[in-house]
Structures are given as C-alpha cells and as structure tokens.
A and B are shown apart, each in its own frame.
Chain A
Amino acid sequence: GDSVTQTEGLVTLTEGLPVMLNCTYQSTYSPFLFWYVQHLNEAPKLLLKSFTDNKRPEHQGFHATLHKSSSSFHLQKSSAQLSDSALYYCALSDRDYGSSGNKLIFGIGTLLSVKP
C-alpha cells in the first residue's frame, strides 16, 4: 500500500541556518504530496502542496520539489526562524478523487526545534 517515510524524528537547528526535512514516499500511482505544519497546541494546517504541472510550491519561505525519480518531496528553507519550531508532517493522497476522496496518508512527523 501507499506509505510516507520521514526519517528524522527531531531536527535541531540554530536560527539562520538552512532547513531540510526529508520525505520519501511509496505509491502505486502518481500522488499529490503535501506538507502540514502543527505548532504547539494548535491544529495541523497545510503548508505546501505539490502542483500537477511540477511547479515548485512555496509558502512562508518554505519550498519543496517533487522528484518522481527518487519519490521524494523534501521540505526546505534557506534560513530558519525561531517561529518555525513546530511539528511537520509529510503526506500523500491519490490523485483520483473518485476512488480515495481526499484521504491523506501521513508520515510520523518531524519535530523542528530552532534555537537562538
């Protein structure tokens, strides 16, 4: 079945350094990929979503590139901020709404901790 792998449980960075959170996936088809972010005591919310035309999505300084050849959708940011400290989930969904609706399969999450 479909799956998402996030290899890092915790990433600790100093403010100003670049961020890269890993995400790889397995899927029978060509899925949509997502990054969700959850700040402490808040609901998870969408950060980025892959485009159908392979454009690189960007939001709040974060970006991610879908590489079908390596089945990856790593999250990157050039300079970490203290406010980026949060739990980040990578997820995938089937492109065929008729069969799977908007069901998302999530990774286990990566906790990003940015220190001064």
Chain B
Amino acid sequence: DAGVTQTPRHEVAEKGQTIILKCEPVSGHNDLFWYRQTKIQGLELLSYFRSKSLMEDGGAFKDRFKAEMLNSSFSTLKIQPTEPKDSAVYLCASSGQGSGNTLYFGEGSRLIVV
C-alpha cells in the first residue's frame, strides 16, 4: 500500500513568493492533517480535513496559509506571500476511522525562504 506522498521534498523560495505544497493521503483515509515542524515549536497543526471538509484551520496560520482538499486523494497547502519565518518542514498526515487513531505521516516538504 502506498503511504502518504508529499511533493516537493525541498523548496527554496524568495521572500514574497507563493509556494504550493502537495499531499496525497493513504487511500481510504478520511482525515488529513497539515503540520508545521520546527525545533522550537515542535509539530504545530495548520489544518485538519475530515472527508474533505475543513474541520480546523489553525488560528495563528490563517493569515497567509491556505489548505485545500479538492478531492479525497489530494490536498494542497499554499503559503502566500512567504516570509523567512516560514522556513520549516511541512508534514502531511492521514488517518482513517479504522486505523485506530494512528496518523501516517509523509516525509515532509522542507521549505527555505530567503
């Protein structure tokens, strides 16, 4: 079975650019999450979808971050405009009601904003 797939794995952007990160969840999973990973804050929840509906949109990230789930097998995270403080690893994870609360993570997209 395919796990969670994230692209691109690495992205370098200039300040002010728009970047789009992509995620394909595990087939059949209903829940999809976007997390930001930094050494200082750990894993912070950006967005949470259940059956394609947005359930939670992390308050501090609403301003320039927008996640969408166009269909059950694809999600995007847009950051517009990017700032140097957005440099981090962005992790996508999925879960299903039958997976016993277990989240399956992708390997992440490492973003560097210069």
Q: Is A79 an interface residue (CB 8 A)?
A: no
Q: List chain B residues, Cβ under 8 A from A36.
A: 103
Question: In chain B, residues 41-97, which have Cβ atoms closer than 8 Å to a Cβ of chain A?
Answer: 41-43, 45, 48, 50, 55-56, 91, 95, 97
Can you report 18 A-B residue pairs in the complex whose CB atoms are below 8 A from each other? A32-B101, A42-B107, A44-B91, A45-B104, A93-B101, A101-B48, A101-B95, A102-B31, A102-B95, A102-B99, A102-B101, A103-B48, A103-B55, A104-B101, A104-B103, A106-B42, A107-B42, A108-B41
Q: Give the nearest-CB partner of B102 in chain A.
A: A46
Q: Is A25 an interface residue (CB 8 A)?
A: no
* Given A43-B106, A102-B95, A105-B45: A49 touches B40 (CB 8 Å cut-off): no
B32 to chain A, nearest CB (A): 10
Beyond contacts A46-B103, A109-B42: 10 other A-B pairs, Cβ-Cβ < 8 A, are A34-B101, A43-B106, A43-B107, A44-B105, A46-B102, A91-B43, A101-B55, A102-B95, A103-B55, A108-B40
Q: Is A89 an interface residue (CB 8 A)?
A: yes
Whether the Cβ atoms of B31 and A89 lie closer than 8 Å is: no
Encoded as 1 (CB less than 8 Å from any B CB) or 0, chain A from 34 to 63 comes to 101000011111100100000000000000
Tally chain A residues at the interface, Cβ within 8 Å: 24
A43 to chain B, nearest CB (A): 4
Whether the Cβ atoms of B91 and A43 lie closer than 8 Å is: yes
* CA–CA, A52 and B77, complex, Å: 35
Q: Is A29 an interface residue (CB 8 A)?
A: no
* CA–CA, A85 and B33, complex, Å: 26
Give the contacting residue for B43; candidates A97, A101, A102, A109; CB below 8 A: A109
Q: List chain B residues, Cβ under 8 A from A44.
A: 43, 91, 105
* CA–CA, A43 and B110, complex, Å: 12
Q: List chain B residues, Cβ under 8 A from A102.
A: 31, 95, 97, 99, 101-103
